Amino acid sequence: MSGPSTYEPKYAAAKWMDKRLPIIRMGADFMTFPSPRNLNYWYTFGGILALCLVVQILSGVILAMHYVADVDKAFASVQRIRRDVPFGWLLQSMHAVGASMFFLAVYMHMFRGLYYGSYKAPREVIWILGCAIYLVMMATAFLGYTLPWGQMSFWGATVITGFFGAVPVVGESLQEWLLGGYSVDNATLNRFFALHYLLPFVLAGLVGLHVWALHHVGQNNPIGISEKTKEDTLAFHPFYTVKDAFAIAAFLVIFAIFLFYLPDALGHADNYIEADPLKTPAHIVPEWYFLPFYAILRAVPDKLAGILLMLGAIIVLFILPWLDTHKVRSMRFRPIARWFFIFFIFFCFVLGWCGAGTPDDIAVPFGKNSGITFYRVSQIATVYYFAYFLVILPVLGLIEKPLKRPDSITKAVLGDGKHGETLAPAE
């Protein structure tokens, strides 16, 4: 943790423990952790995400007590959970809706990091760990979506595992090895269940490292200027515990609206039909949180190229700290980058929209029966997605002139000069 520990054990038992395993000290330092005083609500998603992980693990562990991983019984066992297990309907919906909420929060968290430059030195490792968390989350969500053994579960799993078959030379053997057979079947379902149970704990470990790194280098903040004096910071507790708690409660209201009133709005109706390997659904679409990547996958005619592009879209996030070379972190002071960032978000939504559409359908109509297809729109958006990371940010790093920045967080908060005298001198 950054800075010397200020914890003083008061009781004999606490002193005894502190000499042997300073776990109380760790907790105390966590609570007194100096955080920038200007963090806004975008910075509450970290706490929200921690809660999401806990909700998913707790509901998931209980669901696993009732779920049967067998191709002949999986669908029926989920029906039994929804119909007969006491509050099973609640747990099952909470887990399914919770996955969507988890992704909603993680996207907010990532956009915040992108906007305020939270990936820049010295926070590269926090960012990379975050990207790893996102990758494991995606894997976990995909594996979990297979388990109810509905039509979309089965065909989604078939399509995604099919990607591995496109790998040159070893593709087919790799796919067979992953599936445990020639197609998605009982062996696949069982290994997916085992891995779906395992990965959340990997996720928890990565989150631990993510938070550790964060506490080592300190938090970024909306103006992206490092903490310089004590006045720049506030103790995590009570200032940010109460702010996070409020944000979490507000987030839970949105969660509850979906959970209780729109439990199926984010899912696909076809998943209420039991998996049938002989009947392909008319449109195989992934869950909403994968749609942008699905659009990138389908933006090129070649399967392997599509897969490489899709992987690239995630890999590019990992190397972002070295692509954006601009010295200024926060886009508040980067008048040009800011606009490109807004377009970037816009195109992420466009990609999601294209992912939900059928490539050959008209997305933007011009007159009758003509216009731009989803295929073309997704190509434009894909080009922008990659250009943002590989061209725009590196070039702006060289040429963009930042706006004038305040000298410190305190000055940004209290105004320049007016209150300067009243401040305690820097340490």
Partner 1 sequence: MAFKTPKNILLGTVLVVTSISGMAFAAGGGVHGDYKMKHPDWSFKGATGTYDRAAAQRGYQVYREVCAACHSLKYVAFRHLGDKGAPFYLEDYPNPSDNPYVKNFAADWQVADIDSETGDEIERPGIPADYFPDPFPNEPAARASNGGALPPDLSSMVKARGNGADYLYNLLVSYDVPKPADVELTPGLHWNPVMEGHKIAMASPLSDDLVSYEPVEIIDHGKSKIVDAPPATVEQMASDVTQFLAWTADPKLEQRKSIGLMTIIYLLILSILLFLSYKRVWRDVKH
Question: Which range binds partner 1 by CB under 8 A, 40-48, 173-181, 197-205, 317-325?
Answer: 40-48
Our CB check for partner 1 shows the closer of 161 and 410 to be 410
Please name the residue ranges forming H helices in 226-334.
241-261, 291-297, 303-318, 320-323
- Give the DSSP H/E element, type plus range, for residue 4: none
Both ends of the chain: CA-CA distance in Å? 19
Does residue 242 touch partner 1 according to CB under 8 A? Answer: yes
Q: For 358, which DSSP code?
A: -
Among residue numbers 326 through 365, which ones bind partner 1 (CB under 8 A)?
A: 345, 349, 352-353, 356-358
CB of 161 closer than 8 Å to CB of 183:
no
- Give the DSSP H/E element, type plus range, for residue 394: helix 393-399
List the beta bridge partners of residue 372. 364
Q: Which of 30, 260, 322, 339 binds partner 1 (CB under 8 A)?
A: 260
Does residue 177 touch partner 1 according to CB under 8 A? Answer: no
Residue 178 Cβ, how far from partner 1 at the closest point, in Å?
A: 29
Does residue 40 touch partner 1 according to CB under 8 A? Answer: yes
3-state class percentages of the chain: helix first, strand second, coil last, to nearest 5: 65, 5, 30
Residue 100 Cβ, how far from partner 1 at the closest point, in Å?
A: 7
CA geometry: angle 199, 201, 206, nearest 5 deg? 95
Our CB check for partner 1 shows the closer of 85 and 195 to be 85
Amino acid at 391: V
Binding mask 80-119 for partner 1 (x = CB under 8 A): x-xx-----xx--x------x---x--xx--x--------
Does residue 263 touch partner 1 according to CB under 8 A? Answer: yes
Our CB check for partner 1 shows the closer of 111 and 163 to be 111
Q: For 226, which DSSP code?
A: P
Q: Which of 194, 256, 305, 395 binds partner 1 (CB under 8 A)?
A: 256
Distances (CA, A) of 346 to 44, 167, 184, 292, 336: 23, 32, 36, 11, 16
Count of residues interacting with partner 1 (CB under 8 A) = 60
Residue 289 CA, distance from chain mean position:
9
Gap between the Cα atoms of 43 and 113, Å rounded = 9
Binding mask 272-291 for partner 1 (x = CB under 8 A): xxx-------xx----x--x
**Footprint of partner 1 (CB under 8 A):** 37-38, 40-42, 76, 79-80, 82-83, 89-90, 93, 100, 104, 107-108, 111, 222, 234, 238-239, 242-243, 245-246, 249-250, 252-254, 256-257, 259-266, 269-270, 272-274, 282-283, 288, 291, 345, 349, 352-353, 356-358, 412-414
